[in-house]
Structures are given as C-alpha cells and as structure tokens.
Structure 1
Amino acid sequence: MLDTYTVRQDDMPQEMRFLLNHYPRDSWDAHPGFKEKTRHWLGAHQMFRRVAERIRLDTEGLLNNDMGLDGYAGRLSYYGGNLVGNLHGHHGWEDHSYFPELSAADPRFDAGLELLEQDHSELDKVLDDFTRTANRVIKLSALDEAQAYDEVGKVHATSEMIEAFLKRHLSDEEELAVPIILHHRLRG
C-alpha cells in the first residue's frame, strides 16, 4: 500500500523558484503586497500541517496505550474528516481559481504548476487510502477491537505519509506562489 506513493524529496527545481530570491520567505509579512487573502491561504496550509500532525500523534497515543480506542475513533473521525474534506476543497479551489489567476499573471508559474498538480494527484491517492483505512478502524472500534488495533498501524503509516507530502508540497507551493503574488500585487 504505502510503497506506491511518490513523495518528492528534492526542493522544487531552481528554475521554478524564479522570484523566491527577490522575495524570500522571511520578507513576506513586511511586503506591502502581502494581503489578508494570502495570509488566509497560508493559514489554511498551517492548519493542514497541524491537523495531519494531530492525527499522527493521536495514533501514536493509541499505540502507546495513552488513549482508549473509543476516544481515538471519535478523534480520528473528526480530525480525519476535517483534513480530507478540507484538503480536497482547498485543492479544488486552487486548481479552478487560484492557480489560473497566478498563471495568467505570470506564465512562468506554469512550469511549477505541473509539478504541483502531480503532487495533488499523488496526495489524492494517499488521502483515499487514509480514508478507507480510517473508516475501517472507526467501524471496527465498535465491532471488533482486536481487528481495529490491527489496522491502526496502517493509519499511522498513512498519516506519516500525509505529513511528508504536506511538508514538501505546501512549502514548494508557497515558495512558488507567494513571490508571484507579491511581485504582481495580486490577491488584494
């Protein structure tokens, strides 16, 4: 299952980070073109990172007997549904609204966009596997606790994979998009 995913290990190629040298991450907040819409977009990314981490930590808590199965199943349902639903919605909005705006403003974005779209496709596969496995654990928590515990290791491995994807993808996406936004004064 988990060996079928491709998480890029390298930074986005330098030619795709064309404006980042002019607009480094540590200067974004102070830039006059850094508006509330961009701040909210980055905030959504931070929320995804935190929720993915919460799922992994809760799973580790269950595996370490620091949490009961019933409490874990409820939290997995809540946080897992939140993460998957919001990531799908966020990526849909990016694909249909946000990315076309960036591409129209600066055609150089398109080279990075192809890489980001590949990430979205791979992440969708991981999220689908996570959803199936998490739902199985939630159902089994009421039917057969032993089987539920057998499946929890898969939830943990998949949650680690989600975190790895988000770490690589969101960082690259931010470092490609925000400099374009600042350079062209978009999202005002």
Structure 2
Amino acid sequence: MTDLIPVRTTAMPAEMGVLLHDYPRDAWAANPHFAKSTREWMRAHEKFRVLSDHLHDQTQSFLDRTRDPDGFADHLGRYGTALVRALHGHHHFEDLSFFPELSEADPRFDRGLEILEKDHEALDAVLDAFSHTGSRVIKLVQLDEATAREEAGILVTQTEAIRAFLNRHLGDEEDLAVPVILHHALRG
C-alpha cells in the first residue's frame, strides 16, 4: 500500500519533542499565544485529513459499485484537484515562509524542519502520481468503465498512502511547530 509513497516510519528525533513536553497538545487551545493564524493552519491540516479520507471512501465506493461512475468522476475531479492544489500551496507556504520563521526563532529544531521539508518533497511525488491516475480514471469512466475500475484500484491504494502519509506528517509537523510558536509567542 505505502510502497507508492515513502511514508516515513521513523519517529522525529527525540530532541524535537523537547518543547512538546512543556507545551502538551491538550493545553494548546488554552495558551494565550495560541493565535488565530495557528488555529487556521491546524484547521487546514484537519481539512486535508478529512478530504483525503473522503476521496479514499468515494473511490472505494466506486470500486464496490455503490457510487455511480459519472458522479464519482465529477467528484474525483473536483475534490481531487482541490486536495492537490491546497496541499501544494500549503507546503509551498510552509517551506518558504513558515519554516524559516520557526528556524529563526529557535534553530534547535532545524533538523526536524529539514525532515518535514523532505516529507513535502515525497508527498509532491505521490500527489503527481495521484493526479495522473485520477485523470485517467475520469477519462476512462466515459470510455471503458471496466478499465476505469482497474485504475481506480490503483487510485484507492494511492489515497490510502496519502492518508497514512498525512497522518504521520501533519501530526509531527504540529507537534514540532506549535510548541515553538507558543514558547516564543510567534504569530500573535
């Protein structure tokens, strides 16, 4: 399943969790430095998780023949494009603006930020493959539904890999970034 995307299976280095101990996840919302921009950034992460789950479920429904082909193709085009564009834009912002801001505030965490940037590169590759497969499925729905279902079998594997990747990456990203933001009162 995840051989399509190199899902990082190793944990972030232990030293990346130094501030997480002082700023545990369950206390973030109550922290006065938990700014609106940080909430919105995390809300975007949750939308990515929900959208990847939704695309996976819709693709599985198409494979199970409980989703009509034309509706599925339309849905895949709309929501698949939204996920890919949003993730590319989000990661571009993080790599060019957000991560440098965190690095400047606390360079102790640069090693973790480098790992997260490498994750972005890996995810870009699978998003490109997902886009290619999704486009084929959409075209094949009109031309050859049986072949469209075969391609959708690849697509469901890709969406499962995207979900696994996002669960790993986004959690690590939040656990690294938010404590730095809170500790240094950034973005408020």
Report the TM-score when normalising by structure 1.
0.97
Q: Structure 1 residue 108: deviation in Å? A: 1.1
Q: Structure 1 residue 3: deviation in Å? A: 2.4
- The more displaced of 136-145 and 163-172 is 136-145
1:50 maps to what in 2?
Answer: 50
The separation in 1 between residues aligned to 2:117 and 2:123, in whole angstroms, is: 10
- The more displaced of 158-167 and 6-15 is 6-15
- The more displaced of 76-85 and 138-147 is 138-147
Alignment of 1:86 with 2:47, yes or no, is no
* 1:85-131 CA-partner distances (Å, limit 9, x unpaired): 00000000001111111100000121101110111111111101100
Q: Secondary structure at the match of 1:29?
A: coil
The separation in 2 between residues aligned to 1:2 and 1:122, in whole angstroms, is: 12
Q: Secondary structure at the match of 1:108?
A: helix
Alignment of 1:38 with 2:38, yes or no, is yes
Contact 2:16-2:176 within 8 A present in 1 as well: yes
Q: Structure 1 residue 64: deviation in Å? A: 1.3
Q: Structure 1 residue 4: deviation in Å? A: 4.8
Displacement over 2 Å in runs of 4+:
1-5
- Which aligned pairs between 1:55-70 and structure 2 lie closer than 5 A? 55-70=55-70
1:162 maps to what in 2?
Answer: 162
Stretches of structure 1 that go unaligned for 5 or more consecutive residues are: none
Counting matched residue pairs gives 188
The separation in 1 between residues aligned to 2:18 and 2:86, in whole angstroms, is: 29
User: What amino acid does structure 1 have at the position aligned with 2:30?
Assistant: A
Contact 2:4-2:158 within 8 A present in 1 as well: no
1:143 maps to what in 2?
Answer: 143
CA root-mean-square deviation:
1.2
User: What amino acid does structure 2 have at the position aligned with 1:16?
Assistant: M
The separation in 2 between residues aligned to 1:68 and 1:163, in whole angstroms, is: 23
Q: Secondary structure at the match of 1:8?
A: coil
